[in-house]
Structure 1
């Protein structure tokens, strides 16, 4: 049944719901043999290319935990919601997860808009929110833990390497919405820091498919490197047109979003070879733990499972870090689990060591600069244990426990 805005906001209903949620948080799960967490991802619609493998990663984590005996004597049950690439679904399903399914954690809402629609609901019902997508950074909220990379962990190492190895003149082309514009601020921060120059900040609507004029502008500017933050299916036209114009071998492209939707498997190698990106995880990582992880993915989804990239990997790492916090806390209670996460949970997984950071509610982790050739990624350079940005000490849930707004880097 679709919840109306009136029923969602009605005072008496809200008070009743809060009472139910509070009762459950107080230990109503104690008598059950299972404990529920929620996956809130887009399993249909335009964003399902991100949501389906993210949900798969959560499922792999839950099966691994249950295969090892569960948590605190209980099996973990994964409640799955399909956001349908519809922002309006997120607050509805977040409320349903809290009140009907009485989950003790929610993970997902990968896009910035979905995340911002979801956070207030989970904060209201005191359900911890694990955010598994890479993002611009600066989210410092008591009820949310970010387990993927922030801007300083992804853009900064990529641009450090780029300004050193490719040249100082950068051209930024990006989709026109909040996240790419916020990522764009990091270009200027890094150009100032590294003695580089941002020649242009060039933004395009998400539905643009003709980049002829954009490519002409880049050719005229003569940059040393192009930084692309173009997202979505239509944006793949840029890479096709760039290669068709003979530019792929002339000016290198770097990106922090390319391949998050596995574009390297859709586009032809001659349209993508040589592109350089930065992610905490990529499937070709040659480590024993990654081989074990991929075997578990195959056991759940078969050999033809979707490529697991750095964007969707958060579905796995988020559940595993939360589980480690539950073990340390000896409880599923919100306050106990958040306190455990804040104490610094160290977990060694397929992407290397990850450690939760108490003041920022973000995560210290490795980042890999990688290049694609013939649809296969290879390692260029590994940046080890990059801590989250504190934004000059402003990102600190201990000193600012009621903070919910984003912080942005200063140029």
Structure 2
């Protein structure tokens, strides 16, 4: 059975009897944001992009780009985010946070005596652009690190290119979990790091009967597996489970099924603009104040600011970061963000914050290595790296290249998040020891839950 470490607020697991939930290897996994039909939220013109055409230079794929970085006073890193197109609502604030991090590193004297030059590429919400720009970044611009790729599809198009040219890849968004590769540094959370604390709390505080509703693609189905598993662990029951295509806008049948099942709460993994209709229809049916909703994805697109308080008040979520975290470190971070990005900046949520934490954690690894050289950096990553930021203490775990960090369970109230509970230092799930990059550094697969 799975066991929880109460001192860590974490999840150190062994398989439940008679049921395996890991060791399924996926070459084309889904992700929390993949395939989402996006909401119409203004980008506020935060950035101007510097994307240019691709140069496929004749450089040996065995040559590390980081071994031929500029010998002058600057060194280049790359930002490959969606600055236009359907997923720019995530890419624009993530890129803005990355720009802020690089500016702060430079203002503090740079890194190893060099100023960081940020090369910006716009993925344009087009999967084909990502391998092209990754190759340009490695071969033409000779970046020593590249961060970005919001969706699972863009991530999977990007990381083989960077692995080939030995350019460290920092992945800064929330995702389905299971990324296990020495060249890929995940500074945000897998869905398990959100779902386990949130559902453990929900079964304890809201009741034992849950109804799960999600979008019909891989990641929400994976989270459905977690929901069933955690129900078993907490003596609970999943009284209903429904999946809907991303373009569905009529949820009257779903609401009727939930009403008939009479759950203590609903776990929602509905995503994207059309699926916001569920929350409107749920409130219109008078259900918002009768049956609570919890979610690991609500708020990722700032839905709590798009919908009205009458449609959202009381929804409970779990993320590693909220602007409402009331600590001196976060208040200082937000003051700097206001100064750097301007008063019209977007709300910085648990997705966007990865744009800031990624360069900072990478910089700690470079300092430890004492070099931008690829081999030296990979050697430095063989031990845990600790850094404290606006969301608290973060530890990049050597064996998984994923991040241990605090998780905050929050409830929306009048378009603001109110803290219910913080679970400290939640560990990334290691799939029963299957993700151990110290023992198996050649692994490049994605591990996903499997019944």
Asked if 1:234 corresponds to 2:274, the answer is yes
Q: Which runs of 5+ in 1 are unaligned?
A: none
Match for residue 188 of structure 1 among 228, 251, 264: 228
Aligned to 2:22: none
Q: CA deviation at 1:409?
A: 3.8
Q: Which runs of 5+ in 2 are unaligned?
A: 1-51
Aligned to 2:297: 257
Q: CA deviation at 1:262?
A: 0.5
Aligned to 2:63: 22
Asked if 1:67 corresponds to 2:107, the answer is yes
**Runs of at least 4 residues off by over 6 Å:** none
Distance change >3 Å, CA 262–CA 23, structure 1 → 2? closer
- Higher RCO (C-alpha 8 Å, min separation 6): 2
Distance change >3 Å, CA 143–CA 377, structure 1 → 2? same
Q: Which moved more, 1:82-91 or 1:56-65?
A: 82-91
Contact 1:151–1:186 (8 Å) recurs in 2? no
Q: How many residues align?
A: 400
Q: Find the aligned partners of 2:129 and 2:435 in 1 and give their Cα distance.
A: 30
Q: 1:17 aligns to what SS in structure 2?
A: coil
Contact 1:169–1:198 (8 Å) recurs in 2? yes
Contact 2:399–2:437 (8 Å) recurs in 1? yes
Q: 2:447 aligns to what SS in structure 1?
A: coil
Q: Find the aligned partners of 1:342 and 1:209 in 2 and give their Cα distance.
A: 47
Asked if 1:324 corresponds to 2:364, the answer is yes
Aligned to 2:141: 101
Contact 2:64–2:165 (8 Å) recurs in 1? no
Q: Find the aligned partners of 2:348 and 2:64 in 1 and give their Cα distance.
A: 38
Contact 2:69–2:143 (8 Å) recurs in 1? no
Asked if 1:280 corresponds to 2:280, the answer is no
Distance change >3 Å, CA 171–CA 207, structure 1 → 2? same
Contact 1:342–1:356 (8 Å) recurs in 2? no
Q: Find the aligned partners of 1:339 and 1:314 in 2 and give their Cα distance.
A: 23
Q: 2:394 aligns to what SS in structure 1?
A: strand
Q: Which moved more, 1:288-297 or 1:61-70?
A: 288-297
Aligned to 1:90: 130
**Residues 361-400 of structure 1 correspond to what in structure 2 (within 5 A)?**
361-400=401-440
**Structure number with higher helix proportion:** 1
Q: Find the aligned partners of 2:200 and 2:265 in 1 and give their Cα distance.
A: 13
Match for residue 90 of structure 2 among 46, 50, 66: 50
Q: Find the aligned partners of 1:410 and 1:112 in 2 and give their Cα distance.
A: 18
Aligned to 1:358: 398
Q: Find the aligned partners of 2:65 and 2:158 in 1 and give their Cα distance.
A: 20
Asked if 1:347 corresponds to 2:387, the answer is yes
Asked if 1:299 corresponds to 2:336, the answer is no
Contact 2:200–2:230 (8 Å) recurs in 1? yes
Deviations 1:34-56 (A, max 9, x none): 11111111111121111110001
Deviations 1:65-121 (A, max 9, x none): 011010011111111111111111111111111111111111111111111111111
**Pairwise CA RMSD:** 1.6
Deviations 1:196-225 (A, max 9, x none): 112233111111112122111211221111
Q: Find the aligned partners of 2:138 and 2:437 in 1 and give their Cα distance.
A: 23
Q: Find the aligned partners of 1:184 and 1:141 in 2 and give their Cα distance.
A: 25
**TM-score, normalised to structure 2's length?**
0.86
Q: Find the aligned partners of 1:241 and 1:91 in 2 and give their Cα distance.
A: 40
